[in-house]
Amino acid sequence: MNIRIFSSFRRCSILRRRAAAGAFIVCLLMTGCRRQEFSIDVSLPAEIWGNYHISYYASDGKGGLWINTTIPLEQGHFTLKGASRTSSPLYIRDDRQNEAMFFISPGDKLALTGDDANPTGWSATGNEISEQLVEYRKSGESIENFVKSNPDSPVSSLLLLTSFPRRENPAGFVELWNCLGKKARRLEMAGIVGTPDIGANSPFLLDKEGTARLRGSAAKVTAIAFCSTNGWSDTLRTNGRPTLIYFYERSGEERYLEATDSIRRLAKAFPDSAKRNLAMFSFQSDSLSWKSQIRQDSLKKITHAWVPLGQADKRMQALGVPSSPWFIVIDGKGIQQYRGDDPAKAAASFRRLAEKKK
């Protein structure tokens, strides 16, 4: 009985969402001009049947919403008509979770064809960016190589915004993004895609030219408040001391062991803690687990800090910590000398600073 009640509720909820999306499109069609309309036509072999889940962003100039709908494919064919004042990525997913991104603009008549049901292998005509996305998928090229070879392509901007692992490789994203030329339309594409981690109060900041930098990367760091192992608030002060801070979330992993081994060697090479700072900021939610790990690691003369909110902590946001693991190396004047996830590079940067203090 409970299952039937839940299923009925879910069907009603889905119907309401579809009705709202449908009403939005009808409103666009009634109030706008024909140039806002677009169509998507899929033609596959007649023996292919199934459902396809389609998502795109529709805007009326004052606002918009993501349209999520399911279209039945019958005898290898379906047609979808929509409307929007702005362009949008178009995601098509089959029932086996194979998903492909295309691109749609007002006025387009996008035709998609293929030999099988998997949309990742389909071809496209009717939108130049969609056609280039198809070529990219068929090439099997990495995003990094494609962007470097095509710095003036809007597809490069789209791939960096939608498919590049920014959280795992924030420095790599910034480097590739800043290589893009004017024809890549990077500011326009950032606005169209609307990713939440790019823009004001986000890890990645864009200036008026579209150049990216990591939030906090230009900030001078002289003091950082934190929660110590005894549960009291404390402050890590960088004035006059070279400082290495390691931000981490999970212990016991290979990268964690590599980082702690590197910090242990630095502590041994520069034993006078009055002349340097070596700090580990834990993003673990459980303080007991954190303290247990500290005892197991037996790292001496190291500052241990607990930040249970992780990257959501306002102090971490101000520092621009985009992911974990992450390192920041700061000189005695509070100027950041290294930011990244490479333990070896962080250690080398710290050693250069610490050697000068000897």
Q: How far is CA 281 from CA 49, 93, 199, 306, in A?
A: 53, 40, 26, 6
pLDDT above 70 (res 69):
yes
Q: Which residue has the tokens 């247990």?
A: 292
- 10 Å Cβ neighbour count for 192? 20
Per the CB < 8 A criterion, the answer to whether 264 and 299 are in contact is: yes
Per the CB < 8 A criterion, the answer to whether 207 and 316 are in contact is: no
Q: Tokens at residue 140, please?
A: 């099997």
What is the model's pLDDT at position 6?
Answer: 29
What is the model's pLDDT at position 10?
Answer: 35
What is the model's pLDDT at position 148?
Answer: 96
Of all residues in the chain, the percent with pLDDT exceeding 90 is 53
The average confidence (pLDDT) of the chain is 85
Of 207-221, 269-283, 316-330, give the lowest mean pLDDT range.
207-221
Summarised one tens digit per residue, pLDDT across range 119-157 is: 999 999 999 999 999 999 999 999 999 999 999 999 999
Q: Tokens at residue 44, please?
A: 């596959």
CA dihedral 61, 63, 68, 73 (to 10 degrees): -10
pLDDT above 90 (res 340):
no
Per the CB < 8 A criterion, the answer to whether 40 and 32 are in contact is: no
pLDDT above 60 (res 31):
no
Per the CB < 8 A criterion, the answer to whether 38 and 104 are in contact is: yes
- Distance, in Å, from the CA atom of 135 to the CA atom of 169, rounded to the nearest integer, reads 25
pLDDT above 70 (res 93):
yes
Question: Confidence class of residue 178 from pLDDT cuts 50, 70 and 90?
Answer: very high
pLDDT above 70 (res 358):
no
What is the model's pLDDT at position 33?
Answer: 52
- The distance in angstroms from the start CA to the end CA of the chain is 75
Q: Tokens at residue 308, please?
A: 């249970």
Residue that wins the pLDDT comparison between 357 and 268: 268
pTM of the model: 0.67
What is the model's pLDDT at position 322?
Answer: 82
pLDDT above 60 (res 273):
yes
Residue that wins the pLDDT comparison between 150 and 200: 150
Of 10-14, 201-205, 288-292, give the lowest mean pLDDT range.
10-14
Residue that wins the pLDDT comparison between 34 and 219: 219
Residue that wins the pLDDT comparison between 293 and 207: 207
Mean pLDDT of 101-124: 96
What is the model's pLDDT at position 301?
Answer: 85
Q: Which of 126-135, 300-309, 315-324, 334-343 has the highest mean pLDDT?
A: 126-135
Q: How far is CA 131 from CA 96, 254, 270, in A?
A: 23, 41, 57
Question: Confidence class of residue 284 from pLDDT cuts 50, 70 and 90?
Answer: confident
pLDDT above 50 (res 267):
yes
In 3-state terms, what secondary structure has residue 184? helix
Per the CB < 8 A criterion, the answer to whether 63 and 28 are in contact is: no
pLDDT above 50 (res 332):
yes
